[in-house]
Amino acid sequence: MPKNDPSSNSSRAPRFKFLLYVADDTNNSALAIANLTTMCQENLAGRHEIEVVDIFKEPARAMADRVLMTPLLIRLAPSPVQRITGTLNQPGEVRQALGLEPLAS
């Protein structure tokens, strides 16, 4: 494949899997979803998966994952697991904490 083919880069780059716990449709939940989606689209296009879990709809799952506050982002892959609480409104700090780097063109 040619070097500038994005699929060749994404096949070698790590795939990120995120779990975002939210509380219903509160403003903080909506902000966290929007910020995470934007960050992933800008930095991890084609190599991320986001699962959003509402603690009111799945309380047992939230308890099993020891969710004490929302929104709570858990990076499940790649290892190690990382947890960040809040709306993710400081993209530079969140990217650094999660080890996100944009793909080189």
Domain regions of the chain by residue span: 20-96
pLDDT band at 101 (very low <50, low <70, confident <90, very high): low
pTM exceeding 0.75: yes
Q: Contact, 71 vs 28, CB < 8 A?
A: yes
Positions of E strands within 2-101: 16-22, 48-54, 72-77, 82-85
pLDDT, one tens digit per residue, over 68-81 is: 999 999 999 999 99
CATH number for 20-96 (one of 3.30.420.40, 3.40.30.10, 3.60.15.10, 3.40.50.720): it is: 3.40.30.10
